[in-house]
Chains A and B, each alone.
Chain A
Amino acid sequence: DAGVIQSPRHEVTEMGQEVTLRCKPISGHNSLFWYRQTMMRGLELLIYFNNNVPIDDSGMPEDRFSAKMPNASFSTLKIQPSEPRDSAVYFCASSSLGAGARSSYNEQFFGPGTRLTVL
């Protein structure tokens, strides 16, 4: 099993540019999570999907952030336009959840993360 795959691993961009982060969850998992990790704010849940449907996006910082999950094997997190304060490590995680289960009920498997630097 390849685990959760994220690309790119590192991204350096200039303020105002669009950034797209990609995630491939573990095959068979039906839930996908996007997190952001910074020194100042720690690890924050941005959004999670269950069966490709966004369930909770209350952690998305603002309208510049958007996430999609067009199918069970792919998700994107887009920032447009990017700002220096968006610099962080972005993690994708996946898990397998039963109907009605809390989002954390089963172990979440994390990808290696994407380190984003916005200049």
Chain B
Amino acid sequence: AQSVAQPEDQVNVAEGNPLTVKCTYSVSGNPYLFWYVQYPNRGLQFLLKYITGDNLVKGSYGFEAEFNKSQTSFHLKKPSALVSDSALYFCAVETDKLIFGTGTRLQVFP
């Protein structure tokens, strides 16, 4: 069975510092991988996806993620965090069905 894990419930980072939100997955076959962001009282918004090709994927708002097949990871990164990046971030994976991780709350402090 496929699964996706976000090992950190919360990540705290100072504004201007780099941020990483971790995601690992367990699937058979070739997965599609995604990051979505959720702001308070809003639906999820798409950030980026990996389907095939270059392992480094660039997305919205300066975010990027690297697909690492050997480590089965798809960590979300940003070189310089903004206070406005504070939100709930979801990693998702699909082979035959889209499954979301439990979410990681990112808190960026001024």
Contacts and interface: CB of A to CB of B under 8 A. Distances in A.
Interface string B42-59: 111110010100000000
Contact of B32 (A56, A59, A105, A110): A105
Interface in B3-59: 32, 34, 41-46, 49, 51
A116 interface: no
Contacts of A102: 32, 94, 96
Give the secondary structure class of B's interface.
Answer: strand
A105 B51 contact: yes
A45 B97 CA distance: 9
Contacts of B98: 45, 103-104
A112 to B, nearest CB: 5
A108 B102 contact: no
Nearest to B103: A42
Interface of B: 32, 34, 41-46, 49, 51, 90, 92, 94, 96-103
